[in-house]
Structure 1
Amino acid sequence: MKKYIILSFLITGIITSVVAQDQKITLEEIWGGAFRTQGMDVLRSLKNGKQYSVLNFDRSSRSTSVDKYDYETLQKVETIVSSKDLNGVDFFTSYEFSADESKLMLATDVTPIFRRSRLGKYFVYDIKSKSLTQVSDNKIQEPTFSPNGDKVAYVYENNIYVKDLNSGNTKQITTDGVKNKIINGITDWVYEEEFSFVRAFEWNSNGTHIAFIRFDETEVPEFSMDFYGNQLYQTQYVFKYPKAGEKNADVSLFVYDLGNGNTEKVALNDAYYIPRIKWTNDANVLSIQVMNRHQNNLDLIFYDASAKTAKTIYNETDKAYVDVTDNLTFLNDNSFLWTSEKDGYNHIYLFDKTGKLIRQITSGDWEVTNFYGFSPKTARVYFQSTENGSINRAIYSMGINGKGKKMLTKTVGTNNATFSADFTYFINAFSNTDTPNRYTLHKAKDGKEIKEIVNNNSLKDKLKSYNLPQKEFSTITINGNDLNMWMIKPANFDPNKEYPLFMFQYSGPGSQQVSNRWGGSNDYWYQMLAQQGYIIACVDPRGTGFKGADFKKVTYKELGKYEVEDQIAAAQELGKRAYVDAERIGIWGWSYGGFMSSNCLLKGNDVFKMAIAVAPVTSWRFYDTVYTERYMQTPQENPSGYDENSPINHVDKLKGDYLLIHGSGDDNVHVQNTMRMVEALVQANKQFDWAIYPDKNHGIFGGNTRLQLYNKMTNFINRHLGDKLQEEKKELELENKVKGK
């Protein structure tokens, strides 16, 4: 009797184990947050170099706090501020310290405007007195402490204000701000999106001057979008959006003197773009980066606010374009560190304060991908690079003399560092395709790991029950180039069986999708599709990043030519493999990836059976000036480059199944792209599927939107690419049913 009981338990255990190892991923789990990773939110290193702060959220009390931790012990030292102790502030979503760390700027009631811009109510919390001061009764933008923390500058309705925290008085610095005409201290739409910044004003080092950029949008063409909402009538949003070849905002630079109240215009001659301003360590000297419209000529200018003179101290040109970064770093004597691709790869250079090159610090056939800073104490620079492989990221330090390079991380995958203020420690955020985010503390001297802070082992254990196949990294030789590729095969992969292939790509200039890091929501979707019997693959074509300037800039003036050739050729090459059904190859992408998937289906109509394009550019004539002209020049100068590679002009080639998706409230890639594509397809008498998501922006999210969207895409894939899989599934179900009988 006991033997039978034991055997029964064994059989039950085996069945349970088999079931547990075969759990299926669902879209409800993916978009319900079942696979969410834990991290460290709003991590800041404190000036003493021994402690750091983190924004924590208490779900039980629905409150937020800024907590201080010790690097050496990783123990919480104190709670600096908690919303539970603040009257009138239920919670805050971000915080910033004043330079002396005596005060905190707390953000509440924040409303997004565009990708990076926000309106919100802001409060200054005095740590010593525990007092709370509201900066303005209005919703404002970009409040920023003066260097000594006694003032706050901010923007309200396109004008700059300064609040004196001691007196409580507020002074208006500019008065000509008008919506859709004049903006002071805040970037316009295209600068925000393409130059990646919002705050266009800067305090100098002693708080006596504020430099700011003024945007005159008066002659910039307007774009409007209808928002349908839930009222009887729709509303309309109108904003300035310069499309390729059209008028940009006229930009000018000013310096305001808080002492005498005077505003001085900086003479920059023919400056077309001002993508960066930054005060040097000299309180009188402002650095300005100026570019021409083609973005292939960049001047670094020093403006002396006392002498009111401007001088170009460094110039960089490129046959294609010069990338703008945030890596400019001034040393104590105003010599500076700069990153550039001028030797073919992105590296770090040291210049003296007159702009004379002292030395190139890093070099090699690899890229510096993040510059963390310089430590005067150790005379070393700290950076992230691709030296151990273009799909990986490791952390290094190197003497400013160009010697003594040290690799500070040993884990192979993606390492991101947050250094302490004095570069004694760094917190490393690591992941790879097998390891979800893991945060560890390290010595900056040699990279030695001190202690683990956060891991996601529970998620890793949870995923074991799904028996997920590995993401395999490799290269594929296409058009004379070894292109990076990843592939996910079904867990029960049989090399003697043919599988449908579903390809994903983005392919935009300087981008990367084939990266050795823990994936996001889309990766779980790919795993779900693999569980259903699909092979998923991703190839980074020519034009993508981190393999040198020549590889990246080959697409100059021809966006959508070489990348499409590579994707089509990659699909053909993969179709030759015995386990890939060459008659069932599909492709999809979002934004630039949607532009690409559309082109691939049209130009590769004998290769791809289906494609999904989400929020695609369908003609580069519809997209903005800064991005498009950087890579294409203007449509007046390069009409063939625009038209020959835009899918809207190739609709007559459509043979396969096509799903076109867009949000009607997309301020970035306007729904105009899809509407014009639809009209072209209709007039070409082509059948296709499409969906418009009312009022949704470029991300198409909110409520159940993503869940519904991915259900729609999954159904489309199953219907047009997985027909045989569905037949096999039905046959298997019938077979099991017969066996069951």
Structure 2
Amino acid sequence: MKLLLPSIHRGKQRLLVLQTVLFFLLCGFSGAAWAQGKIEDYKRSAALKENLRNKVYNAPNNVYWTTGQKAWYVVRTTRGLEFVVIDPKKKTRQPAFNQEQLATKLSEATGRKIDPFNLPFTSITFGKDDEEFEFVAEGSVWQYATGSFAFRKKGPFRAEPTDRRYWGNSRDELDEKPVFSPDSSQTAFIKNYNVYIRSEKTKQETQLSFDGSEGDYYSGYIQWSPDGKKLVTNKIRPNKKHLIYFVRSSPEDQLQPKLESREYLKPGDALPVQRPQLFLPESKKQISVDDALFNQQFSLSRLEWRKDSRAFTFEYNQRGHQIYRVLDVNASTGAVKPLIEERSNTFIDYSGKRARHDVNDGQEIVWASERDGWNHLYLIDGATGKVKKQITKGEWVVRNLVHVDDKNRTILFAASGRNPDQDPYFVQYYKVNFDGSGLTALTSENANHTATFSPDFTYFVDSYSRVDLPPVTVLRNSADGSVVLELEKADISVWEKGGWKAPEVFTAKGRDGKTDIWGIIIRPTNFDPAKTYPVIENIYAGPHGSFVPKSFMSNYLSMHELAELGFIVVQIDGMGTSNRSKAFQDVCWKNLKDAGFPDRILWLQAAARKYNQLDLNKVGIFGTSAGGQSSTAALLFHPEFYKAAVSSCGCHDNRMDKMWWNEQWMGYPIGPQYDECSNVTNAHKLQGNLLLLVGEVDDNVDPASTYQLANALIKANKNFELVTLPGQAHTAGGDFGERKRRDFFVKNLLGIDPPNWNEMEKEVAGSGK
């Protein structure tokens, strides 16, 4: 009997496992959704994903405007996908076309059955009169007239070539394509590293520069002045390219691995030097442009001529990102003067908060700045550079400069934090006059708003929601924000019947004892207030944004699926992130290892005081990219609080990652702060359980960063897990990575060994014989 009982037990266990796998197969669940708590937990997690996916109805994701001032969108209803068109002037909302009729015609033309509410296209292009549109289906372009129901096949679809240039590649400054003058009588081009012009009538060539060389050449991106009497280009002193290398171990097109490389500038690398050069073709004269105001450049950008050809302007970002200038160059003398100058003792958020509009050919400039500690709009005198007026002001931030109306001197913009009784991250839309008067809220509902404006900015479609409020979509008038037409109100009845629980918005004071830190709490559908649950934090703490969802999370079910395994899942925006005050963001400067952890820990402790179901003795954390760096940092710098981490394609040492992102927050020149914040340098401090995932051909974050961390951990005799994803780029690992992540937390926080998926597959294979 003693020998028989284990045998019977094993047989029952196999049967249970087999039944579970068959359950998944019959329900169409993918392996990515199988959660590894108890059997019933990962059944429920899989069912949650399957049962809720695409079950939010009447909530369009994108709205598009036609040239005829109508709007259209695709919305999922209980029937399927429906196309809707809006006419603001007539105040109508109606089907964009007869879907049943089009499906019939398309079925006849293609010889295959077409479902009218699952059409083989989701994008349409309206003609000028909005009475006909084109779409691509079955490899062809089709035309359909909504009034006459005319339908025809225009021809085969030929995709327009797309620019697949890798983001890190430097552009070919020696491009020798000729650049035509405004009247097309002359062309400018590069020859033998110098600037030439050619008469299109006589074909005579004239050399304008004589000091170009292979190591100090003129750029082929030449710009003629509008009057055709001047031209400008940059003289380039190139830098040495920094290449990173990968071995693509498992290419699709051959057996043997491939060695690949990418251009990839890292902090501290040398940069090319650009110097604008001015030419007067009629007199064959080159005018010197003094570089005193732009000689420590990180970049020069937005080189543009004034419409009257009196000058050209460009923007100068000083390396270290503590000085940013808009410079004006007199086209007659070459004299350079600053129109705008920003200075910061920390950093200027050039990659996230730049906004500039030149009014009436530069007579004035609408400019965004954090000079008073909050991101606001200013009106700058285009001649003197002096501030004429601070247009917006207060302890709130401008998020986006939408449109500037030069004639009526009004501005449309998005902002957050102006409503003291609302989440400070909620985006609302406003209108204001150049002098700061007439500030009008165009949206006000207590929710996060997304607006899509008509081409003439007289109307906009507004979709607003919260994580606990399904989307509402309306058409508004841009003059005062009044609702012209109610369009959609989301239906989440299927979610509610499925037991879905809305995330809870929770706030607690940060490290300073006064600043509110905002986050969300996600509980499983079978949440039992009498039980305690390990906590898992989803972290992304990049200073360039804020990351806690503010709109309804119809496309973010993965955190809910994770919670189903027996966890409480949270996401928090700590200090050091964006979209609050300048001081709030400055916490990150030269200190990315901070990652807002003092605020996150206080937030979690406050949540646990209110809800004793949170077990803060078992806290896990995961993140990708910058979140990968932070999740590992949680174990290294706060091991007393965080016990398990999963880090995907992390930037584990900021000296190994892309220059533009890291120098902005960590500073230049490279100093000891880079070493202090390095996970690699601090690898010996590891105490918790760590899983690292990395794509072998990640050209966003150099995968060597993860390998160097692994090397340091091995040298420190630390236990950890490393998963390399062949052929994968910058990724959290897809379905496989999701399964590994969930398995890891189930094992290390719940104390349950996840199922042996390989054995389960054997059982299924055996049952089929």
Of the three residues 220, 223, 242, the one matched with 2:265 is 242
Is residue 2:603 matched to residue 1:544?
A: no
- Correspondence 1:480-499 to 2 at 5 A: 480=513, 481-499=515-533
Partner residue, 2:358: 330
- Give TM-score scaled by structure 1 length: 0.74
1:489 is matched by which residue type in structure 2? Answer: R
**CA distance 1:725–1:557, shift in 2 (3 Å):** same
Q: Does the CA contact (< 8 Å) of 2:577 and 2:588 recur in 1?
A: no
Is residue 2:430 matched to residue 1:373?
A: no
Partner residue, 1:342: 371
1:423 is matched by which residue type in structure 2? Answer: F
- Correspondence 1:657-676 to 2 at 5 A: 657-676=689-708
Deviations 1:311-366 (A, max 9, x none): 22221101111122452101115211000000000000001211121100000000
Bigger Cα displacement from structure 2, 240-249 vs 608-617: 240-249
1:273 is matched by which residue type in structure 2? Answer: F
What's the offset of the Cα at 1:437?
5.5
Q: Distance in 1 between matches of 2:585 and 2:473?
A: 32
Partner residue, 1:78: 132
Q: Does the CA contact (< 8 Å) of 1:299 and 1:312 recur in 2?
A: yes
% identity of equivalent residues:
24
Is residue 2:712 matched to residue 1:680?
A: yes
Is residue 2:610 matched to residue 1:566?
A: no
**CA distance 1:26–1:161, shift in 2 (3 Å):** farther
Q: Give the secondary structure class of the aligned counterpart of 1:710.
A: helix
What's the offset of the Cα at 1:671?
0.4
2:157 is matched by which residue type in structure 1? Answer: D
1:654 is matched by which residue type in structure 2? Answer: L
Deviations 1:414-439 (A, max 9, x none): 22333334332223243321455555
Bigger Cα displacement from structure 2, 287-296 vs 32-41: 32-41
- Correspondence 1:117-156 to 2 at 5 A: none
Q: Does the CA contact (< 8 Å) of 1:564 and 1:596 recur in 2?
A: no
Is residue 2:428 matched to residue 1:403?
A: no
Deviations 1:96-125 (A, max 9, x none): xxxxxxxxxxxx243633359999xxxxxx
Q: Does the CA contact (< 8 Å) of 1:296 and 1:321 recur in 2?
A: yes
Q: Distance in 2 between matches of 1:357 and 1:372?
A: 21
**CA distance 1:184–1:672, shift in 2 (3 Å):** farther
**CA distance 1:492–1:32, shift in 2 (3 Å):** closer
Q: Does the CA contact (< 8 Å) of 2:141 and 2:155 recur in 1?
A: no
2:357 is matched by which residue type in structure 1? Answer: T
Deviations 1:244-271 (A, max 9, x none): 1221222344578999999988553415
What's the offset of the Cα at 1:677?
0.6
Q: Does the CA contact (< 8 Å) of 1:214 and 1:251 recur in 2?
A: yes
Q: Does the CA contact (< 8 Å) of 1:589 and 1:612 recur in 2?
A: yes
1:552 is matched by which residue type in structure 2? Answer: Q
What's the offset of the Cα at 1:242?
2.3
Q: Does the CA contact (< 8 Å) of 1:25 and 1:466 recur in 2?
A: no
What's the offset of the Cα at 1:699?
3.4
What's the offset of the Cα at 1:487?
0.9
Q: Does the CA contact (< 8 Å) of 2:48 and 2:498 recur in 1?
A: no
Q: Give the secondary structure class of the aligned counterpart of 2:655.
A: helix
What's the offset of the Cα at 1:237?
2.7
Partner residue, 2:738: 710
Of the three residues 114, 122, 140, the one matched with 2:166 is 114
Partner residue, 2:339: 313
Of the three residues 214, 221, 224, the one matched with 2:242 is 221
Of the three residues 297, 302, 310, the one matched with 1:277 is 302
Structure 1 unmatched ranges of 5 or more: 1-18, 71-75, 93-107, 120-139, 163-172, 186-199, 728-741
Partner residue, 2:80: none
Bigger Cα displacement from structure 2, 621-630 vs 595-604: 621-630
Q: Give the secondary structure class of the aligned counterpart of 1:450.
A: strand
Q: Distance in 1 between matches of 2:158 and 2:51?
A: 27
Q: Distance in 1 between matches of 2:526 and 2:703?
A: 41
1:327 is matched by which residue type in structure 2? Answer: A
Q: Does the CA contact (< 8 Å) of 1:407 and 1:447 recur in 2?
A: yes
2:244 is matched by which residue type in structure 1? Answer: F
**CA distance 1:588–1:151, shift in 2 (3 Å):** farther
Q: Distance in 2 between matches of 1:154 and 1:53?
A: 44
Q: Distance in 2 between matches of 1:413 and 1:370?
A: 17
What's the offset of the Cα at 1:466?
2.5
Q: Does the CA contact (< 8 Å) of 1:25 and 1:524 recur in 2?
A: no
Q: Distance in 1 between matches of 2:485 and 2:224?
A: 38
Partner residue, 1:738: none
Partner residue, 2:321: 295
Partner residue, 1:735: none
Deviations 1:539-567 (A, max 9, x none): 21111112200111122122213623333
What's the offset of the Cα at 1:209?
7.6
2:367 is matched by which residue type in structure 1? Answer: W
Deviations 1:66-106 (A, max 9, x none): 22589xxxxx44337876169886154xxxxxxxxxxxxxx
Q: Distance in 1 between matches of 2:450 and 2:65?
A: 14
Number of equivalenced pairs: 634
1:716 is matched by which residue type in structure 2? Answer: F
What's the offset of the Cα at 1:179?
13
**CA distance 1:32–1:232, shift in 2 (3 Å):** farther
Q: Give the secondary structure class of the aligned counterpart of 1:84.
A: strand
Larger radius of gyration: 2
What's the offset of the Cα at 1:298?
1.1
Q: Distance in 1 between matches of 2:131 and 2:215?
A: 48
Q: Distance in 1 between matches of 2:272 and 2:545?
A: 27
**CA distance 1:25–1:309, shift in 2 (3 Å):** farther
Deviations 1:684-739 (A, max 9, x none): 11111121112322235xxxx61222122112122212336999xxxxxxxxxxxx
Q: Does the CA contact (< 8 Å) of 1:218 and 1:249 recur in 2?
A: yes
What's the offset of the Cα at 1:223?
2.0
Bigger Cα displacement from structure 2, 256-265 vs 294-303: 256-265
Q: Does the CA contact (< 8 Å) of 1:281 and 1:332 recur in 2?
A: no
- Correspondence 1:636-675 to 2 at 5 A: 636=670, 638-639=671-672, 641-675=673-707
Q: Distance in 1 between matches of 2:277 and 2:568?
A: 56
What's the offset of the Cα at 1:401?
1.5
**CA distance 1:38–1:149, shift in 2 (3 Å):** farther
CA RMSD of aligned residues (A): 4.8
Q: Distance in 1 between matches of 2:66 and 2:354?
A: 19
Partner residue, 2:61: 39
Q: Give the secondary structure class of the aligned counterpart of 1:299.
A: strand
2:569 is matched by which residue type in structure 1? Answer: I
**CA distance 1:90–1:593, shift in 2 (3 Å):** same
Partner residue, 1:357: 387
What's the offset of the Cα at 1:473?
1.2
Q: Distance in 2 between matches of 1:369 and 1:492?
A: 38
Q: Does the CA contact (< 8 Å) of 1:252 and 1:265 recur in 2?
A: no
Of the three residues 460, 465, 482, the one matched with 1:426 is 460
1:722 is matched by which residue type in structure 2? Answer: L
**CA distance 1:23–1:581, shift in 2 (3 Å):** closer
1:578 is matched by which residue type in structure 2? Answer: N
Is residue 2:743 matched to residue 1:722?
A: no
Q: Give the secondary structure class of the aligned counterpart of 1:493.
A: coil
**CA distance 1:443–1:622, shift in 2 (3 Å):** same
Q: Does the CA contact (< 8 Å) of 1:289 and 1:301 recur in 2?
A: yes
Partner residue, 1:554: 587
Q: Does the CA contact (< 8 Å) of 2:121 and 2:135 recur in 1?
A: no
Higher RCO by CA contacts (8 Å cutoff, separation 6 or greater): 2
- Give TM-score scaled by structure 2 length: 0.71
1:112 is matched by which residue type in structure 2? Answer: R
Structure 2 unmatched ranges of 5 or more: 1-39, 75-82, 84-95, 97-105, 107-117, 143-152, 198-207, 756-769
1:561 is matched by which residue type in structure 2? Answer: D
Q: Distance in 1 between matches of 2:355 and 2:186?
A: 27
Of the three residues 582, 605, 609, the one matched with 2:639 is 605
Q: Does the CA contact (< 8 Å) of 1:182 and 1:218 recur in 2?
A: no
- Correspondence 1:67-106 to 2 at 5 A: 67=126, 76-79=130-133, 84=141, 90-92=157-159
Is residue 2:96 matched to residue 1:66?
A: no
Q: Distance in 1 between matches of 2:73 and 2:188?
A: 25
